[in-house]
Structure 1
Amino acid sequence: MEALLVSTGVVALAEIGDKTQLLAFILAARFKKPLPIIAGILAATVLNHGLAGALGAWITSVLSPGVLRWVLGASFLGMAIWTLIPDKIEEEETRVASKLGVFGATFVTFFLAEMGDKTQIATIAMAAHYANPLLVVIGTTLGMLIADVPAVFVGDRLAAKIPMKLVHGIAAAIFALLGLATLLGAGASLGF
């Protein structure tokens, strides 16, 4: 249950102000059809984070527990730093797949925007850290939806009222705590 709760909370916080949340604002303004946009976000996130969760589970099978602990600890600390750097959306990402309809355009652009994004990397790290990558993928997907669905419905009005630096600071602190706890041996009973 911890894997689900932590992954949901961390990704929901990390996603606020992230380029995929900005992409949700842009798609909502462009298409004005929230349900296919939300369905596209969900489908792209499940596929992207499912692959990331599988990679995280695979990493645990090839690295020794000692090496894995240091890699995960460093990864979480790196995520803490990365979370403090604001994302900017690239215009090209909003033009991809314009002939695929609202769902298709959302699916393709979200999937591509998440490739190598901090939430995908966090999913890999948390899937490697926790013994249940399925709960991590469910949690990171829920976190993504918690941050992006309101963006689809309320757009820029909400973004202007959210203290982005505070939210990013909280997410960074959680990643840093996970990194330090991992480096100090938390999870040793799980074999890391």
Structure 2
Amino acid sequence: MAWIRTVPFEEAAGKLKKLYERVTGPGGNVDNIMLVHSLRPHSMEGHMAIYKAVLHHSGNSLPKWYLEVLGVWVSSLNDCGYCVEHHFSGLQRLLRDATRGEAIRAAIEARNLEQAPLDAAQRAGLAYARKLTEAPAAVIEADVNALRAAGLDDGQILEINQVTAYFSYANRTVLGLGCSTKGDVLGLSPNNSENPDDWGHS
């Protein structure tokens, strides 16, 4: 499951147990990406707070399924299979169009955004996310201006930026610690977007 020791749910105590109880899914499942934080519960707390804010918060205006597309895209660029599988399952659940979801994934795997059944603004967001992921120091103001020209407002540009940055963090957490999907339930997420403190997965 990981290359470092983790504390199982049934052995957790104190703050760690309380955090586990907050992030559980059906049957008491805790995603392995959260379990890898178990030796430092405060870092799990920080991880969940930013994850909930950038992907599952009512203050975001871009569709949640599109934020998941961004997550799958960035994770694919970073060769993070764990996050690709988790968030593609979440994308499919939110999109409710399996054929379109598979077409989006095929375009991602081919690195050909023009093949993706997305609108111009959504593809522009993915192009920005690719540059920010692969060559962050090369991003210039013109790249942000291109997003505006595609129809995105500055708040939506911030959302794209934050989802991209979050997944680069999450990918490195997973890849750097050997986190696998073994035992995970794919596609669950904290769906109560109205309450930032509700981290329960469903």
Q: Same fold (TM over 0.5)?
A: no
Select the structure with the greater relative contact order (CA < 8 A; seq sep ≥ 6): 1
Task: Considering fraction of residues, name the structure with more helix.
Answer: 1
TM-score normalised by structure 2 residue count: 0.29
